[in-house]
Amino acid sequence: MRGSFAVATLILTALAGSRLAAVRPDPFPDALQAAAPETQAALPRVRLIATGGTISNRTGGRLTAEELVTSIPGIDKYVRPEFEQFTNVSSGSLTLKQWIALANRINTTLAEDTELAGIVVTSGTDTLEETAYFLDLTVRSDKPVVIVGSMRNPSALGYEGSANLLEGYRVAADPRSRGKGVLVVLNDEINPARDVTKTDAHRLDTFQSRSYGILGVVDADRIVYYREVVKRHAGKSEFDVSKVEDLPRVDIVMTYQGAPGDVIKALVDHGAKGIVIAAAGAGATSGTQEEGIRYAVDKGVFVVLTTRTGSGRIAARTTTSSSTRLQIQGEDLAPVKARILLMLALTKTSDASEIQRMFTEY
Long-range CB contacts for residues 352-361, cutoff 8 Å, separation at least 24:
352/302, 352/325, 352/326, 352/327, 352/328, 355/302, 355/328, 356/316, 356/328, 356/329, 359/304, 359/316, 359/328, 359/329, 359/330, 359/331, 359/333, 360/316, 360/331, 361/231, 361/232
Catalytic site residue from 51, 54, 125, 324: 54
126: burial class by Cβ within 10 Å (0-12, 13-18, 19+)? middle
Q: Is 219 left (phi over 0), alpha (psi -120 to 50) or beta?
A: beta
φ/ψ (deg, to 5) at 348: -115, -35
Give yes or no: 127 in active site.
Answer: no
Q: Which residues are catalytic?
A: 54
